[in-house]
């Protein structure tokens, strides 16, 4: 009997122990790890690294500086101490997650293991804040059974909680609540990553980034007003990337993205049967390119099959291709199956800070089948005759089928409402805009491409040499184009942080198929600030050394005029100067005179550069009374020049190169209204011996090729406009009496057809007049003026990229853009005689240079009307050229001195 109490006690003990075991094993929620707290909506997670040096490099990289500027408190904000505390504890086991907080904003959540040391240091930082001069509010409340603490100051709130052994904080209180909800739920960010979380990691790096590619689309849309394309929205599933700063101080992410053919709802699945392909298209990519997307295709047949699996839900694309195959006998699937090599899309900057795309199809199997299909479509769909244009060594045709490239390559290619195409070797080039396609081909001919650029090749060699999907970004050129499509907040951010952002140079995002995943590389280079890390700084180039300081060149006689030209040797800007003794000299940016050449008279009109021998070397063409001159860069005449001509009273000269074959024609305008045209050898051509218009011109006559036909345009001061053919014959409807006196230049407003192409002039008394190629007035618009005697004129960008409207009144000079928005207003210049230049070099580098001829003072503005020179420049003339994407060169002349100033 005495044993019974003992047995009961043992039994109760076993029951309690067993119950606790069952509760602990099956019912009690296990202690949360750091990863269990990250919400599913998270865009990416950064995981800390044990490599302190690597993390320190990351903290001081431009990428982190940009993020710091975008979302973290400023140095002047006392809450900055909280930021510093959090960032200083990004040790192994710590995480940072990125989240969308508003339609145009994002923020972070910081997860730090709550060790006694961390809590002690945080309390010290908190006490320091309390003792500060700034007014702060400390509060707390409960949410979901968890105590939330908040520190507020100047509309900025820092929130934190402690869950088990994890200290969680954020500057967005709503994100802390998301963490608490995740803690009480079954799903989190890690459960959505799939197998990417189990991939091996590198320890000697700056940490790891886990990316939800689907959620990344949401983050991407924060910055732009435009809806992300299907390519961005459905690109892939997830990625794990190691973070590091390379030996060249470039920002690099390396790792893997997960996707496979079993997920045809992702774009990457289209490349699941492909092997990586070398980036050979770099030989064609213009140095003016904003971005270039390269798609490497090793097996066209499997690519076609996998792409169709992705696009099967897009009935519009499928039905259209079936209709084309039935009615026009062109099988898109057969074309794609023939593709073996690369498909590339190049974004170029176009007028008005827009973009224009060039598609490149480069197949190792030859381009004959593709060109044959394009020609067949062009012939069947052209209403009257097939559009055909000879340009240099290229034959350009039109493919009049709405968005045909998009239909066969969607979603990799989009747009192309109009398509113009040509070929070079195995490469086919398709352009949305005819003129942009010509400029692109010209860059290839001049070898002004990535493949020929030392700097671009240096960067490309640091990226994956073979890949299946690559996006290359020429970052400094992108900002100005991006501004128009950005949310107001981010547009302002770019404008206020231009210097910091311009430090970012070329970037690449690449995916290379490997087994059931894609090796992924993201790399961004940046330009080091002058003087930073002197041990690693590169020696300055010759051009940099020569243009690093102001140079002054003094001549024996006064400088009468100068012209900025380009060296074909170094590609830097040089100056052709004529002094009052008629001598012409070539001056380097360092102010060194290379040679002098005596002339018999003043240079009349402009100096223009030509490639006389079609070998890439440039010569100078100009005119003096009764003579034409062609001089090479060594100061030697090209035979048979100088050439005597009958016209001595020359007012304007211009170059005509009908088909870019370098069979130049020289168009000379006399003040009496005589037009002369001379061939390359100086022979006066029939129909122009001379062509007598009977009155002086308001600006230089010019050649334009419109829809494959050549036209010569001349506008007289008395208001008669002429449109002539190559033989000097006046076309039907001309001369057109504008019933106004044009002032300044004329402008060609190009459309996609002859019918919507207009010529624009501004009358002296304030009318903007547009006339058509049929000799009819399209519109006559009255311009606003404050006084009756206000005078107007048109100032054209020298490469017809746009124009300005200038209004001069008794007390004010105003410069408007072509949308009549005020750009520059000056009460200082007012109604004085002025010379105004408008220059647009792309990448946001546009300038307005104004010289007050009476006071001999010049002012240089950027394209937004911001004055670039702190003081007026004493000069009789000024010119501007970009030195690089951060600096400009200002050329000015006064008396006997030519001054070149970097700014």
pLDDT recorded at residue 690: 95
Is the pLDDT reported for residue 417 higher than 60? yes
**Residue 130 Cα distances to 124, 592, 756, angstroms:** 10, 64, 68
pLDDT recorded at residue 9: 60
For residues 7-12, average pLDDT: 61
List CB contacts of 152: < 8 A, sequence separation 6 or more: 136, 137, 138, 139, 158
Is the pLDDT reported for residue 120 higher than 70? yes
Is the pLDDT reported for residue 93 higher than 70? yes
Is the pLDDT reported for residue 27 higher than 70? no
Is the pLDDT reported for residue 80 higher than 80? no
Is the pLDDT reported for residue 292 higher than 70? yes
Identify the burial level of 204 via C-beta atoms within 10 angstroms of its C-beta, where 0-12 means exposed, 13-18 middle and 19 or more buried. Answer: exposed
pLDDT band at 200 (very low <50, low <70, confident <90, very high): low
pLDDT band at 1 (very low <50, low <70, confident <90, very high): very low
CA neighbor of 619 nearest in space, from 638, 599, 594: 638
Quote the CA–CA distance of 881 and 891 in Å, as a whole number: 8
CA neighbor of 835 nearest in space, from 819, 866, 813, 816: 813
C-alpha torsion 665→670→672→678, nearest 10: -30
- In this structure, is the dihedral angle defined by the CA atoms of residues 578, 582, 586 and 589, taken in order, positive or negative? negative
Q: What are the phi and psi torsion angles at 720 (to 5°)?
A: -95, 130
CA neighbor of 203 nearest in space, from 249, 251, 245, 243: 243
* E strand or H helix that includes residue 118: helix 116-130
List CB contacts of 127: < 8 A, sequence separation 6 or more: none
Cis peptide before 559, with omega less than 30 degrees from 0?
no
Among the ranges given (511-515, 682-686, 890-894), the one the predictor scored with the smallest mean pLDDT: 511-515
Of 160-169, 205-214, 735-744, 879-888, the range with the highest mean pLDDT is 735-744
H and E: helices and strands count for the chain: 20, 54
Residue with tokens 């490309």, as numbered in its chain: 460
Token duo for residue 181 = 């909800």
pLDDT recorded at residue 114: 84
Is the pLDDT reported for residue 536 higher than 70? no
Token duo for residue 341 = 């090599």
Task: Show the CA angle centred on residue 885, arms to residues 884 and 891, nearest 5°.
Answer: 50
Identify the burial level of 193 via C-beta atoms within 10 angstroms of its C-beta, where 0-12 means exposed, 13-18 middle and 19 or more buried. Answer: buried
pLDDT recorded at residue 32: 63
For residues 696-706, average pLDDT: 95
For residues 685-705, average pLDDT: 95
Task: Show the CA angle centred on residue 127, arms to residues 125 and 133, nearest 5°.
Answer: 100
pLDDT recorded at residue 541: 46
Token duo for residue 219 = 């983050």
Identify the residue with better confidence: 593 or 116.
593
pLDDT recorded at residue 138: 85
C-alpha torsion 188→189→191→196, nearest 10: -170
Is the pLDDT reported for residue 529 higher than 60? no
Q: Is 479 in a helix, a strand, or coil?
A: helix
Instruction: Please report, rounded to a whole number, the percentage of residues in the chain having pLDDT higher than 70.
Output: 91
pLDDT band at 19 (very low <50, low <70, confident <90, very high): low
Helices (H), 739-779: none
Q: What are the phi and psi torsion angles at 6 (to 5°)?
A: -65, -45
Token duo for residue 362 = 């480069």
For residues 645-674, average pLDDT: 95
- In this structure, is the dihedral angle defined by the CA atoms of residues 442, 446, 449 and 451, taken in order, positive or negative? positive
SS3 of 621-683: the string is EEEECCEEEEECCCCCECCCCCEECCCCCEEEEEEECCCCCCCCEEEEEECCCEEEEECCCCC
Instruction: Provide the edge-to-edge strand list for the sheet that holds 777-782.
Output: 747-749, 758-762, 767-772, 777-782
User: What's the pTM value of the predicted model, to 2 decimals?
Assistant: 0.88
Q: Is 405 in a helix, a strand, or coil?
A: helix
Is the pLDDT reported for residue 896 higher than 50? yes
For residues 574-584, average pLDDT: 96
Identify the residue with better confidence: 683 or 265.
683
Task: Give residue 249's Cα distance to chain centre.
Answer: 23
Identify the burial level of 601 via C-beta atoms within 10 angstroms of its C-beta, where 0-12 means exposed, 13-18 middle and 19 or more buried. Answer: middle
Quote the CA–CA distance of 819 and 834 in Å, as a whole number: 22
Among the ranges given (91-105, 249-263, 375-389, 583-597), the one the predictor scored with the smallest mean pLDDT: 249-263
Beta strands in 383-465 (DSSP E): 388-391, 394-398, 420-424, 427-431
Quote the CA–CA distance of 746 and 736 in Å, as a whole number: 14
Token duo for residue 717 = 């001061």
What's the distance, Cα to Cα, between the start and end of the chain in Å? 105
pLDDT band at 695 (very low <50, low <70, confident <90, very high): very high
pLDDT tens per residue, range 777-823: 999 999 999 999 999 999 999 888 999 999 999 989 999 999 999 99
**Residue 411 Cα distances to 76, 343, 797, angstroms:** 46, 13, 36
pLDDT recorded at residue 21: 52
pLDDT band at 11 (very low <50, low <70, confident <90, very high): low
Quote the CA–CA distance of 745 and 471 in Å, as a whole number: 41
Across all residues in the chain, what is the average pLDDT? Answer: 87
pLDDT tens per residue, range 858-875: 999 998 899 998 889 999
For residues 359-377, average pLDDT: 89
DSSP string, 869-893: SSS-EE-SEEEEEESSSS-EEEEEE
* Bridge partners of residue 881, in order along the sequence: 889
pLDDT tens per residue, range 218-238: 787 888 877 778 788 788 888
pLDDT recorded at residue 675: 97
For residues 388-414, average pLDDT: 91
**Residue 680 Cα distances to 620, 634, 685, 798, angstroms:** 13, 20, 10, 23
Identify the residue with better confidence: 779 or 33.
779
Is the pLDDT reported for residue 287 higher than 60? yes
pLDDT recorded at residue 360: 96
Token duo for residue 249 = 């101080």
Quote the CA–CA distance of 261 and 267 in Å, as a whole number: 10
DSSP string, 484-518: GGB-HHHHHHHHHTHHHHHTEEEEEEEEEEETTEE
Q: What are the phi and psi torsion angles at 896 (to 5°)?
A: -95, 5
pLDDT tens per residue, range 331-357: 888 888 888 999 999 999 887 668 899
Quote the CA–CA distance of 29 and 738 in Å, as a whole number: 86
Residue pair 189/454 in contact (Cβ under 8 Å)? The answer is no
pLDDT tens per residue, range 715-741: 999 999 999 999 999 999 999 999 999
Is the pLDDT reported for residue 286 higher than 70? yes
Token duo for residue 545 = 């050394």
pLDDT tens per residue, range 745-769: 999 998 878 888 999 999 999 999 9
């Amino acid at each position: 009997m005495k044993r019974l109490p003992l047995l009961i006690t043992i039994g109760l003990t076993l029951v309690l122990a067993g119950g606790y075991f069952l509760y602990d094993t099956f019912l009690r929620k296990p202690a949360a790890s750091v990863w269990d707290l990250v919400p599913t909506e998270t865009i990416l997670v950064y995981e800390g690294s044990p490599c302190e040096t690597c993390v320190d490099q990351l903290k001081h990289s431009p990428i982190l500086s940009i993020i710091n500027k975008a979302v973290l408190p400023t140095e002047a904000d006392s809450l900055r101490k909280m930021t510093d505390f959090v960032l200083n504890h990004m040790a192994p086991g710590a995480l940072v997650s990125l989240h969308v907080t508003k339609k145009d904003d994002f923020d972070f959540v910081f997860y730090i293991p709550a060790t006694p040391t961390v809590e002690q240091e945080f309390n010290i930082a908190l006490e320091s804040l309390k003792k500060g001069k700034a007014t702060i509010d400390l509060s707390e409340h409960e949410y979901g059974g968890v105590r939330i603490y908040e520190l507020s100051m100047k509309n900025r709130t820092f929130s934190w909680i402690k869950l088990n052994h994890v200290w969680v904080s954020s500057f967005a209180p709503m994100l802390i609540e998301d963490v608490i909800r995740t803690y009480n739920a079954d799903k989190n960010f890690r459960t959505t990553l799939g197998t990417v979380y189990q991939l091996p990691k590198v320890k000697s790096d700056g940490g790891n980034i886990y990316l939800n590619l689907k959620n990344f689309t949401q983050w991407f849309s924060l910055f732009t007003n435009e809806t992300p394309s299907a390519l961005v929205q459905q690109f892939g599933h997830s990625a794990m990337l190691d973070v590091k700063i390379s030996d060249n101080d470039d920002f690099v992410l390396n790792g893997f993205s997960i996707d496979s053919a079993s997920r045809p709802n992702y774009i990457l699945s289209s490349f699941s049967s492909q092997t990586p392909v070398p980036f050979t298209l770099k030989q064609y990519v213009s140095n003016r390119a904003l971005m270039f997307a390269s798609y490497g295709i090793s097996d066209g047949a499997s690519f076609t099959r996998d792409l169709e699996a992705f696009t099967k839900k897009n009935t519009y694309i499928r039905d259209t291709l079936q209709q084309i195959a039935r009615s026009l006998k062109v099988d898109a699937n057969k074309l794609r199956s023939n593709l073996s090599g690369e498909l590339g899309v190049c974004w170029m900057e176009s007028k008005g800070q827009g973009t224009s795309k060039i598609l490149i199809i480069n197949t190792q199997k030859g381009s004959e089948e593709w060109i044959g299909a394009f020609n067949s479509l062009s012939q069947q769909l052209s209403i009257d005759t097939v559009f055909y244009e000879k340009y240099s060594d290229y034959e350009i045709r039109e493919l009049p089928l709405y968005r045909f490239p998009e239909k066969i390559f969607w979603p990799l290619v989009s747009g192309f409402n109009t398509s113009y195409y040509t070929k070079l070797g195995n490469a086919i080039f398709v352009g949305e805009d005819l003129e942009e396609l010509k400029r692109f081909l010209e860059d290839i001919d001049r070898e002004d491409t990535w493949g020929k650029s030392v700097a671009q090749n240096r960067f490309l060699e640091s990226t994956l040499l073979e890949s299946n999907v690559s996006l290359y970004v020429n970052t400094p050129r992108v900002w100005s184009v991006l501004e128009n499509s950005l949310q107001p907040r981010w547009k302002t951010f770019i404008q206020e942080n231009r210097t910091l952002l311009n430090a970012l140079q070329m970037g690449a995002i690449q995916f290379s198929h490997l087994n059931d995943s894609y090796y992924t590389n993201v790399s961004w280079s940046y330009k080091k600030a002058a003087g930073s890390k002197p041990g690693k700084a590169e020696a300055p180039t010759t051009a940099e050394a020569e243009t690093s300081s102001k140079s002054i060149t003094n001549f024996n006689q006064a400088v009468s005029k100068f012209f900025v030209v380009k060296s074909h040797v170094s590609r830097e800007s040089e100056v052709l100067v004529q002094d009052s003794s008629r001598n012409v000299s070539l001056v380097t940016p360092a102010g060194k005179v290379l040679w002098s050449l005596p002339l018999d008279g003043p240079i009349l009109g402009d100096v223009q550069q030509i490639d006389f021998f079609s070998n890439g070397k440039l010569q100078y063409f100009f005119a003096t009374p009764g003579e034409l001159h062609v001089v090479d860069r060594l100061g030697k005449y090209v035979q048979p020049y100088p050439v005597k001509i009958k016209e001595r009273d020359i007012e304007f000269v211009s170059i005509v190169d009908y088909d870019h074959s370098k069979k130049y024609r020289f168009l000379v305008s006399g003040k009496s209204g005589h037009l002369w045209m001379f061939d390359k050898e100086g022979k006066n051509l029939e129909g122009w011996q001379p062509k007598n218009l009977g009155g002086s011109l308001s600006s230089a006559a010019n050649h334009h090729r419109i829809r494959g036909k050549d036209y010569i345009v001349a506008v007289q001061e008395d208001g008669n406009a002429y449109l002539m053919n190559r033989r000097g014959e006046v076309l039907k409807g001309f001369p057109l009496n504008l019933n106004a006196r044009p002032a300044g230049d004329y402008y060609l407003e190009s459309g996609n057809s002859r019918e919507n192409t207009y010529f624009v002039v501004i009358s002296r008394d304030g009318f903007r007049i547009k006339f058509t190629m049929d000799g009819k007035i399209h519109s006559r618009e009255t311009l606003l003026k404050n006084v009756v005697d206000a005078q107007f004129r048109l100032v054209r960008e020298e490469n017809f990229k746009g124009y300005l409207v200038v209004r001069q009144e008794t007390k004010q000079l105003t410069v408007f853009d072509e949308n009549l928005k005020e750009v520059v207003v000056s009460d200082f210049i007012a109604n004085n005689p002025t010379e105004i230049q408008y220059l647009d070099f792309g990448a946001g580098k546009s300038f307005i240079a104004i010289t007050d001829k009476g006071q001999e003072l010049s002012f240089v503005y950027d394209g937004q009307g911001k004055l670039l020179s702190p003081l007026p420049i004493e000069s009789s003339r000024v010119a501007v050229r970009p030195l690089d994407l951060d600096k400009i060169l200002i050329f000015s002349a006064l008396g006997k001195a030519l001054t070149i100033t970097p700014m």
